[in-house]
Amino acid sequence: MKFEKMIATRDGFGEEIVALGKENPNILVVDADIGKSCKTGAFRKELPDQYLNVGIAEQNCAGVAAGLATCGKIPFVVTYAAFGSMRMCEMIRQEAAYPNLNVKLACSHGGVTPANDGASHQAIEDMGIYRTIPNMTVIMPADAVAARKLVRAAAEHDGPVYLRFTRDKVPVIYGDDETFEIGKAKLLGEGNDVAILANGDTVRLALEAAEQLAADGIKARVLDFHTIKPLDVEAVTAAIEETGKLITVEDHNILNGLGSAVCEVAAELGKGKVKRIGIQDQFGQSAPYERLLAINGVTVENIVEQAKALIG
């Protein structure tokens, strides 16, 4: 499978947040002094009156954003995923999620994409953390197009949202005419032999694996679960009922991410087999991005191998 374009999802965010800000003066960016990395430079330049740089003080970002939300503003807190989930977790829980305020967290460098920056900057726990907090919506788009569409959907959604983006460039999967709905998975491939459920930068791996499986006569259903909370339980249930064999793929700890969410549905149904592919409950290290994925088995080859093992 060949992909013509490679764009980081953080670039999709940077583009869409400018468009949203121009349309709605209540859209604000609350930056933690890393706008260059998180792609808010254009927003700062074009909409300076809607931009606040709080400095390297992520916990203050959360409080400032919550205060702005009480005044009818729609603040997007912008930082790295590791800091947006862990350093400011208590503040977001107490000041945004508990009162159900309209605060959006737009966090780049999710998963192991920080690569050579090492374990301190690699957020492998973030979506799991926010998945457990009431009122939170948790989203990771698969490409730059999905990022733009889901950032817009997040801005229109009333309530706190966590958006996770990649640092590295990832293939553009979707056309500009695609539509996205929070909480509804995207069906990218039909098949009833096995189902591959992925999100974010691993969706492209799922598509490539399905292509290889098809060459061996195995029809794999491919689903993009861009939203892991609220999870599309209907799509998971259908995959379990119609294939009985599921593989989840994610650039996140296999604990409490997409894989865990899918396993919870399977357990409640009392049927289906699920194989989780993701970060194997271990910290990352300084290494190239693809190497870090390979260390954890997040590869096309492993997806194919696990699919064949499930099918027997």
211 three-state secondary structure: helix
- 14 and 35 in contact (C-beta within 8 Å)? no
C-alpha span between 195 and 219 (Å, rounded):
9
- Residue 263 DSSP label: H
Among residues 58, 95, 125, 250, which one is catalytic? Answer: 58
- Half-sphere exposure at residue 173, Cβ-oriented, CA atoms within 13 angstroms: 28
- 163 and 38 in contact (C-beta within 8 Å)? no
> Kindly report the CA angle at 306 between 305 and 310, in degrees rounded to 5?
120
Residue with tokens 């339980």: 233
C-alpha span between 221 and 258 (Å, rounded):
16
Reply yes or no on whether 16 is catalytic: no
DSSP 119-175: GGG-BSSHHHHHHTSTT-EEE--SSHHHHHHHHHHHHHSSS-EEEE--SS-EE--S-
DSSP 27-71: EEEEE-S-HHHHT-HHHHHH-GGGEEE--S-HHHHHHHHHHHHHT
Which CA distances in Å does 129 have to 46, 278, 280, 284? 34, 16, 17, 18
Residue with tokens 């194989």: 275
Beta pairing partners, 138: 162, 229
Provide the annotated active-site residues: 58
